[in-house]
């Protein structure tokens, strides 16, 4: 297993990107994050994390169409890469594995 460094916020946002499925972009991710996880973070932080994820190859992006609500400016749409998908799955598997171990060793 290769080592994957994914911070907690990074993981959350990566999951949001996966959830929103190709429609993910800054503002929507920020709102979805609040809806799903009650996490309020600034838009600049969202951008920063998305950049980091893209650098690490977990997400890819393309420029979307312009819309009036954005003052005619285009948005950058993010979607999860296969590598990103396998990375979160791997993380989930690791966690599951550990949880199973926890469940076995310490009966409630």
Residues that bind another protein (CB under 8 A): 25-27, 30, 42-45, 47-48, 51-52, 63, 68-71, 73-76
DSSP bridge pairs for 62: 77
Residue 92 beta carbon to another protein: minimum distance, rounded to whole angstroms: 27
Q: Which is nearer to another protein, 4 or 76 (CB)?
A: 76
- The maximal CA–CA distance of the chain, rounded, in angstroms, is 58
Instruction: Tell me 99's DSSP state.
Output: H
Residue 96 beta carbon to another protein: minimum distance, rounded to whole angstroms: 33
In DSSP notation, 36-57 reads HH-----HHHHHHHHHHHHHHT
Residue closer to another protein (CB basis): 49 or 80: 49
Is residue 54 within 8 Å of 73, Cβ to Cβ? no
Give the nearest distance from C-beta 21 to another protein in angstroms. 19
Closer to another protein by Cβ: residue 44 or 108: 44
């Amino acid at each position: 297993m290769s080592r994957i460094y994914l911070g907690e916020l990074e993981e959350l946002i990566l999951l949001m990107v996966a959830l929103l499925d190709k429609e993910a972009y800054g503002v929507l991710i920020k709102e979805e994050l609040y809806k799903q996880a009650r996490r309020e973070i600034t838009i600049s932080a969202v951008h920063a994390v998305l950049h980091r994820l893209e650098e690490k190859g977990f997400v890819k992006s393309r420029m979307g169409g312009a819309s009036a609500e954005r003052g005619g400016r285009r948005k950058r749409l993010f979607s999860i890469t296969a590598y990103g998908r396998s990375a979160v799955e791997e993380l989930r598997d690791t966690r599951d594995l550990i949880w199973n171990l926890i469940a076995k060793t310490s009966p409630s």
